[in-house]
Structure 1
């Protein structure tokens, strides 16, 4: 299994850790799932929220791998008003998303999938932000806050 491309930067405790993982192979997708699961456990998420975040991470990383030709997933631990969260930033240098509104619609798929990837990931997370540009790639940042 792959390792983070850069060691986790730690200053001030685990909540400030940050690690970036490559997404270039099927094995990298598994590594990302395990790392995201560990991040949700570290942040104190319950099982349902752990599953939500891991599912969103899987969808986004798979999209970067298949449609973006590979990329990276960065895991961070933001804090806001005493809440802890997990933020995932998924980057690729692929062709970009030509019609973002259509790509976010349920049922839209550029492959053989069910078409729940981007829209599903958006519903699973509290915050969802996309930056995409034709020929320059896509960056998607999502955050889920621990509400327990």
Structure 2
């Protein structure tokens, strides 16, 4: 497994994360549509972590399970957390000025999605896209 951790402190970090996720998706030999989906999901979650979570980090990993390659991302922030995750995952819900599609849309774009958040303790989102 190949693992890399990138900082998420400013807007330009999102661009770097997108580029690295694309490279990893190519290494995993994901199809173009799957590459686009994981890059888009990474971008949305990273932007949320930066805007609402005061930044954090993104762990990128080329993973394998039962002979299948995958891209695995873990995006962590140190923000205020999400009080009601189920509500936050509903299309259209926003705590800011966005469209409210970042979390719910990202969940639909990937093969596995997990979120852990506690008020006052930040948020961690895990994304998987399989070949």
Q: Under a length normalisation based on structure 2, what TM-score does the superposition of the two structures give? A: 0.97
Q: Deviations over 1:44-64 (max 9, x none)?
A: 011100000000000010011
Could you tell me which runs of 5 or more consecutive residues in structure 1 were left unpaired when the two chains were aligned: 1-15
| Match among 49, 54, 65 for residue 64 of structure 1 | 49
Residue 34 (1) aligns with residue 19 (2): yes
| Match among 23, 45, 50 for residue 30 of structure 2 | 45
| Match among 56, 63, 67 for residue 82 of structure 1 | 67
Residue 122 (1) aligns with residue 107 (2): yes
Displacement after TM superposition at 1:131 (Å)? 1.1
Displacement after TM superposition at 1:112 (Å)? 2.1
SS at match of 1:45: coil
Q: Under a length normalisation based on structure 1, what TM-score does the superposition of the two structures give? A: 0.86
Tell me the distance in 2 between the aligned counterparts of 1:115 and 1:138. Answer: 17
- Of structures 1 and 2, the one scoring higher in RCO (CA 8 A, sep 6+) is 2
Number of residue pairs matched by the alignment: 131
Q: Which has the higher strand share?
A: 2
Could you tell me which runs of 5 or more consecutive residues in structure 2 were left unpaired when the two chains were aligned: none
Displacement after TM superposition at 1:114 (Å)? 1.4
Q: Which residue of 1 aligns with 2:7?
A: 22
Displacement after TM superposition at 1:77 (Å)? 1.5
RMSD: 0.7
Q: Which residue of 1 aligns with 2:128?
A: 143
Tell me the distance in 1 between the aligned counterparts of 2:31 and 2:56. Answer: 29
SS at match of 2:98: coil
